[in-house]
């Protein structure tokens, strides 16, 4: 049971508590200049908005989250990241905005004091209202309580008029209401449709990409808006035993030549893998993987043609991920979503790079056994299993704005399962949205290129003969909402992607281009 601590005359304590504590669904806490009503509970859930437009904005976010944790504020969910035009005072740099859900034992005014101290410690000074700031931290919600005092109003009084606050706030929810606390937040909106109805009234998803507000992912030295067009990721396998091109690119010279070719054909990203993950592939050690990877990675990152392109390293070893990023890789592509190395999430959280979490059951040696191929509803089970990995990643400190999801076409899937996934990407997003709108908005990567199921359908036993089938599967995936396609043949798949993107941009098309 919550305890009200009143700092004032004993006689007024009971009166204040009785007057302002309403137990019929939520409570109101009111304070005046000569008294204070403070809530102390075992734990309450809060929503905190973050904004920054001075200095290194991403570093400011990271530092603020670190200081919040030290202050007794445990982050449980992250919204997506938004770059937004400044509001009210428009002659200032663009903002990064986001929000987090957190649990804390701090009372609302204690929480406010902790956040104000963080702002001050990070260099925020009194300036013009709504002016530039290295960090801005606002309490949007605190448990099921309404708080009113001279210094704090919860819910935050200007939530409802600010799309740059509402967008990240909505990300922290699921389309299913998962608790009484979330139900109270919806009720505070005053809208019959709750927060969702209010967001739609403001314009909802149509505002993303409009009104100067973009959903972005920090990668390399920039911000990627993956909604504008589909990205093409070219594959570079350094292995002797990959199913399609094993042994073709084992020297630095041949690898560099292949990367140069893929970039000239229009690749946006290059995915370098030094360990085969084909069915029944034998696992090699960290040392052997690094021996294959590092000379090529160093040569590739030194290529003039690579400037402006993104380099991914395909690995499930945290040690390889750490070394790869230190040598210039921009993000990590993990086929196991952290299942094959218990340190992966912790390492990625410290590296501050995007992370591809892919669905797979077992490992490459066991993923195609009868147990791992059993599904009742492949899309729903992929969502359930992959989302559980993403939640663990998020709780480990990897924010939603650095996550990419991959449903794992060809990994622990039968032919019909792969087809169900390709046609079911909208359903996958919708099912994830029930749990977390933020994760439902993250980029989806698909990798059907030259996979065995295409050979089975088209009677093409040789992997190199499956490019036309790959183009067909990529087309289906992009029209279904995939944002990144991982392919061996960049040139032809890029043409398919361009046509799909043109179709999706047509306002009359039933599928929405922006996710």
Element (H, E) at 96: strand 95-104
In angstroms, rounded to a whole number, what is the distance separating the alpha carbons of residues 249 and 264?
A: 18
DSSP-assigned letters across all residues of 306-320 = GTT-EEEEE-S-HHH
User: Which residues have CB under 8 Å from 232's CB, separation 6+?
Assistant: 266, 267, 268, 269, 484, 485, 487, 490, 493, 494, 497
380 is catalytic: no
DSSP-assigned letters across all residues of 440-465 = HHS-BEE--TT-HHHHHHHT--SGGG
Cis peptide preceding 49, ω within 30 of 0? no
CB 428 within 8 A of CB 390: no
In angstroms, rounded to a whole number, what is the distance separating the alpha carbons of residues 395 and 400?
A: 10
Closest CA to 142 of 175, 95, 185: 185
334 pairs with which residues across the strands?
357
Instruction: Report how far apart, in Å, the C-alpha atoms of 337 and of each of 143, 209, 316, 318, 461 are.
Output: 32, 30, 8, 11, 30
Element (H, E) at 82: strand 81-84
Helices (H) and strands (E) in the chain, counts: 17, 20
In angstroms, rounded to a whole number, what is the distance separating the alpha carbons of residues 219 and 217?
A: 6
Q: ∠240-405-186 over CA atoms, to 5°?
A: 170
CB 408 within 8 A of CB 358: yes
Instruction: Report how far apart, in Å, the C-alpha atoms of 339 and of each of 102, 276, 315, 407, 445 are.
Output: 26, 17, 12, 15, 19
DSSP-assigned letters across all residues of 382-398 = HHHHHHHHHHHHHHTT-
In angstroms, rounded to a whole number, what is the distance separating the alpha carbons of residues 98 and 135?
A: 11
201 is catalytic: no
CB 361 within 8 A of CB 409: no
Among 146, 229, 451, 452, the one annotated catalytic: 451
Among 146, 229, 435, 486, the one annotated catalytic: 486
Catalytic residues: 451, 486
């Amino acid at each position: 049971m919550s305890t009200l601590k009143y700092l004032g005359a004993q006689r007024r304590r009971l009166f204040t508590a009785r007057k302002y504590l309403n137990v019929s669904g939520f409570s109101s806490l009111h304070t005046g200049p000569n008294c204070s009503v403070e809530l102390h509970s075992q734990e309450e859930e809060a929503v905190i908005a973050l904004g920054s437009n001075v200095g290194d904005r991403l570093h400011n976010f990271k530092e603020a989250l670190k200081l919040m944790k030290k202050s007794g504020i445990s982050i449980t969910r992250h919204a997506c990241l938004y770059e937004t035009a400044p509001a009210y005072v428009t002659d200032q740099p663009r903002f990064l905005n986001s929000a987090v859900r957190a649990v804390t034992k701090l009372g609302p005014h204690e929480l406010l004091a902790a956040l104000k101290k963080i702002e001050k410690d990070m260099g925020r000074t009194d300036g013009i209202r709504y002016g530039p700031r290295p960090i801005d931290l606002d309490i949007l919600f605190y448990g099921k309580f309404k708080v009113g005092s001279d210094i704090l109003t919860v819910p935050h009084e200007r939530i409802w008029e600010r799309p740059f606050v509402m967008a990240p706030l909505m990300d922290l929810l699921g389309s299913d209401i998962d608790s009484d606390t979330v139900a109270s937040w919806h009720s505070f909106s005053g809208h019959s449709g709750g927060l969702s109805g209010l967001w739609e009234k403001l314009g909802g998803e149509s505002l993303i990409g409009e009104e100067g507000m973009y959903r972005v992912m920090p990668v390399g030295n920039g911000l990627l808006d993956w909604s504008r067009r589909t990205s093409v990721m070219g594959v570079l396998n350094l292995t002797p035993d990959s199913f399609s091109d094993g042994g073709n690119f084992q020297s630095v010279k041949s690898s560099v030549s292949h990367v140069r070719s893929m970039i000239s054909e229009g690749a946006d990203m290059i995915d370098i893998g030094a360990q085969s993950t084909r069915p029944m592939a034998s696992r090699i050690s960290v040392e052997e993987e690094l021996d294959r990877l590092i000379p090529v990675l160093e040569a590739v990152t030194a290529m003039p043609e690579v400037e402006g392109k993104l380099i991914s390293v395909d690995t499930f070893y945290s040690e390889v991920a750490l070394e790869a990023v230190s040598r210039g890789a921009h993000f990590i592509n993990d086929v196991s979503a952290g299942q094959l190395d218990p340190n992966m999430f912790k390492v990625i959280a410290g590296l501050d790079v995007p992370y591809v979490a892919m669905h797979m059951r077992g490992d490459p040696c066991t993923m195609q056994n009868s147990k791992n191929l059993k599904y009742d509803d492949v899309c729903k089970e992929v969502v359930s299993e992959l989302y559980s990995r993403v939640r663990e990643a998020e709780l480990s400190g990897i924010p939603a704005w650095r996550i990419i999801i991959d449903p794992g076409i060809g990994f622990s899937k039968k032919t019909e399962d792969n087809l169900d996934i390709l046609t079911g990407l909208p359903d996958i997003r919708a099912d994830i949205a029930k749990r977390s709108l933020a994760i439902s908005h993250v980029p989806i990567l698909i990798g059907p290129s030259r996979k065995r199921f295409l050979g089975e359908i088209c009677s093409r036993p040789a992997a190199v003969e499956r490019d036309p089938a790959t183009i067909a599967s990529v087309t289906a995936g992009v029209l279904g909402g995939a944002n990144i396609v991982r392919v061996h043949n960049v040139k032809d798949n890029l043409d398919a992607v361009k046509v799909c993107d043109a179709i999706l941009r047509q306002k009359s098309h039933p599928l929405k281009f922006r996710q």
